[in-house]
Chains A and B, each alone.
Chain A
């Protein structure tokens, strides 16, 4: 358990390699956007980061459901890993979006529905950690956290998706200019998504192992005390 599995080492190496290739594609392969210029390049990693954030929250909800059904601690560890990484990547998404918005919208921030929902999503998962901190009994903590991961995902992330799906109700100010992407841009975009997904898998795995180790230390300490 203490030694890093070979598969994870390979995954780490692949992630680094993919990230290097993705960065090269973003800056050298994809053509310069005509109106927005250099800042448009934020778009590739911005969407990829948000995608990973969403993936993390979805995985957390699924792991939460699995924990409630099976009551096995590993699902709880997976859930924490997924939320933590989802939170970090959503933050990357928000910050990179701000960097793009500054020259394009001439402001760091607007109260667009999508921006609001993403921010509230961050708040939900910050609350998730406050909930975990507030409860001492490990079994109860895991159960409550699982419930909150499910409820939280049903609430805001679902709204976020529905804003994308039902555009007729909500105006969408940010245009991903997907339809206007040139083939090279589209390839770069898809490659970034893929890269970030692989990085996500590697990070979740690492965080999961960290959780396992923390759990083991806690058990050893309890054994010594008793």
Chain B
């Protein structure tokens, strides 16, 4: 908790959100444990795929988007688990709950911080993958899909992570809760990415883009509405 928020009776939603994001980013900048773990893990997943799928140039083009997204969601789960567990274990969550602010700020703050971590990992994996496999991933459309997909994934992931962290089997529980629920986002993201990579016409990509946007909005809205019930004591 930063002292500035404790001095005031009620902090506005956006100020509180910004404070939480800033807190998470600062903690990460000093410890660097989350990002490094996510990154190493992401690279290991890509390497594992390399052997498992025999990524020769021919098969590569058809599976690239799938490989990328599985890598992202695996690394993302790691980050989601860790970010909520850190709050719980060190009693920070109680501090956040006691803070005089709208509790949605906790959700949005954690969500944006998780999104930031995920985007950083993606920003590093993208050029690496491009170099390692000699494909150009830097297409504006693909970047948009990655952004939208990550938003949807993190939106529901942050909500479910804050539930899983309270359970006995938390590290195991999060992927089990999260993966099936997030499937619509994942399917749309994989299909959309593959369509951009394959250079398909916009007509065939738009349905996936629409689906992504719809689920981003739905997940964000629902998480926003129900988050209070999760942290309520």
Give chain A's interface residues, CB within 8 Å of chain B. Answer: 68, 117, 120-121, 123-124, 127, 130-131, 134-136, 140, 143-144, 146-148, 150-152, 154-156, 158-159, 169
Contacts and interface: CB of A to CB of B under 8 A. Distances in A.
A127 B166 contact: no
A124 B182 CA distance: 10
21 contacts: A120-B180, A127-B176, A127-B180, A134-B167, A134-B173, A135-B166, A140-B166, A144-B163, A146-B229, A147-B163, A148-B163, A150-B222, A151-B219, A154-B218, A154-B222, A155-B180, A155-B183, A155-B215, A156-B180, A156-B184, A159-B184
Sorted nearest first, the 5 A-B pairs with minimum C-beta distance are A134-B167, A123-B180, A124-B180, A155-B181, A169-B207
A147 B162 CA distance: 12
Given A150-B226, A154-B218, A136 B184 contact: no
Contacts, number: 78
A151 B156 contact: yes
B230 A143 contact: yes
B131 interface: no
Nearest to A121: B180
B160 interface: yes
Most A CB atoms within 10 A — which of B173, B215, B226, B232?
B226
A15 B160 CA distance: 39
Contacts of B219: 151, 154
Interface string B190-233: 00000000000000000100000001001100110010011010
A126 B43 CA distance: 31
Interface of B: 156, 159-160, 163-164, 166-170, 173, 176-177, 179-184, 207, 215, 218-219, 222-223, 226, 229-230, 232
B164 to A, nearest CB: 8
A143 B229 contact: yes
Contacts of B183: 117, 120, 155-156, 159
A147 to B, nearest CB: 5
Contacts of B223: 151
Nearest to A146: B229
Contacts of B176: 127, 130
A143 B162 CA distance: 13
Contacts of A159: 183-184
A134 B172 CA distance: 10
A140 B166 CA distance: 9
Contact of B230 (A144, A152, A155): A144
Nearest to A122: B180
Given A131-B173, A135-B168, A154-B222, A147 B184 contact: no
A124 B160 CA distance: 13
Contacts of A123: 179-180
A121 B179 CA distance: 11
B181 A156 contact: yes
B182 A155 contact: yes
Contact of A130 (B159, B173, B179, B222): B173
B229 A68 contact: yes
Contact of B168 (A127, A136, A151): A136
B167 A135 contact: yes
Nearest to B188: A159
Nearest to A147: B226
Contacts of B160: 148, 151
Contacts of B218: 154
A152 B181 contact: yes
A178 B160 CA distance: 39
A159 B214 CA distance: 11
Nearest to B233: A140
